[in-house]
Structure 1
Amino acid sequence: MFMKDQMLATLENAKEYTLAVAAAMPDEHYAFKVTDEVFTFNELLHHIGYGIYWWEENYIRQKETEWTPPAVTTGKKATVRYLTDAFRSLKKSVEALPENDKAIHGFYATIDHITHHRGQATTYLRYKGITPPAYVF
């Protein structure tokens, strides 16, 4: 399997699992936060989406961009659409990469950021008594 094929498979897995975590939380609990010092579930998922765009721009496309998140999406439907669009954009950038490009490191840093925050999101689900979707490797 070529590096790009492996990256696209990793991205598809990350997308599917992240969207499954997003789908598991009922819309009425998207405003839930574990403690006052952290994101709501909605804000956390929006942060994942914006992080995908930001890491993609800076470390895959190699275009220096400041961290300026847009207004947070409101509600499950809008947030899931934002995440889906972010993953679609990242996939297009990965598909356009030449093999052995230095942006490969940026791709894996992006995946690591997604994983970090998605793990937090699964904890939010557990706080609400929801079993997170099974992780598929």
Structure 2
Amino acid sequence: MKTQLLTTLENARNYTLSVAEAMPEKNYAFKTTPAVWTFGELLHHIGYGIGWWEENYIRQQPSGWNPPPSTTGKAATIAYLDAAFATLKENMESVPLSDQVIAGFYATIDHITHHRGQATVYLRSKGIVPPEYVY
């Protein structure tokens, strides 16, 4: 079971980072409409969310929602995302599996997928074909 979860996580990481790489640096401040996050803020939210969900629902250490200021720029944002995925992987490798840990893992993946789907809309709004999804 753990191997399956880690494979799912690696697929999510690879695809999310591919989406992040697909957007040119100059468009990280792009918003599809004034009421939403910029592309960079959206990706930062994914990264923060990974850590928050992992802390609360996988390691079961309750913490409040208190996101730091968004990273700025493509390289910093991608590094932040990659570090969040790496920490989640390390914790998934070390925690004993339980129903609660598995549910927390899938809740984290669901949050990533939800916002990554939004990010692909940002790409298409800029005329960029998103990377092909590999599952």
1:32 counterpart residue number = 30
1:18 and 2:9 are equivalent in the alignment: no
Q: Distance in 1 between matches of 2:75 and 2:129?
A: 21
| Amino acid paired to 1:81 | A
Q: What is the aligned partner in structure 2 of residue 86 from structure 1?
A: 84
Q: 1:99: how far off?
A: 3.4
Provide the rounded CA distance (Å) in 2 between the counterparts of 1:131 and 1:29. Answer: 14
Unaligned ranges ≥5, structure 2: none
- Report the Cα offset of residue 63 of structure 1: 0.4
| Distance across 2 between alignment mates of 1:43 and 1:99 | 32
Given candidates 4, 7, 21, the residue that maps to 1:6 is 4
Q: Residue deviations 1:3-25, cap 9 Å, x none?
A: 11000000000000000000000
Q: Percent identity at matched positions?
A: 67
Count of equivalent residues? 135
Instruction: Report the alpha carbon displacement of residue 100 of structure 1 after superposing the two structures with TM.
Output: 3.5
Match of residue 136 from structure 1: 134
- One-letter code of the match for 2:3? D
Matched, 1:49 2:47: yes
Determine the C-alpha separation between the residues in 1 that align with 2:107 and 2:123.
25
Q: What is residue 125 of structure 2 aligned with on the other side?
A: 127
TM superposition shift of 1:102: 2.2
Deviation at 1:97, TM superposition (A): 1.9
Question: TM-score normalized by structure 2?
Answer: 0.98
The answer as to 2:123 corresponding to 1:115 is: no
Give 1:66 deviation, angstroms: 0.3
TM-score (structure 1 length as normaliser) = 0.97
Q: How well do the aligned residues superpose, as a CA RMSD in angstroms?
A: 0.7
